[in-house]
């Protein structure tokens, strides 16, 4: 995974966590849900990138 992608994905995850926490503190369920959605999207992207990296490693070993 490219470093730039890692940074963007982590930033999205952190931003999502902040939205979730602010939504929780202000009793704003929409903001809280948006934060959870952002975190899930970020984790899905990170997982996909890890799978791609693992596939490249396996290919190199063959």
Angle (CA) 38 30 39, round 5°? 15
| pLDDT score of 1 | 59
Model's pTM, two decimal places?
0.82
Q: pLDDT, tens digit, for every residue of 7-57?
A: 999 999 999 999 999 999 999 999 999 999 999 999 999 999 989 889 998
Question: In this structure, what DSSP letter does residue 62 have?
Answer: -
E-only strand ranges, the chain = none
């Amino acid at each position: 995974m490219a470093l730039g992608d890692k940074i963007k994905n982590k930033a999205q995850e952190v931003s999502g966590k902040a939205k979730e926490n602010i939504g929780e503190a202000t009793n704003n369920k929409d903001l809280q849900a948006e934060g959870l959605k952002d975190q899930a999207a970020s984790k899905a992207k990170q997982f996909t990138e890890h799978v791609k990296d693992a596939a490249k490693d396996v290919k190199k070993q063959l």
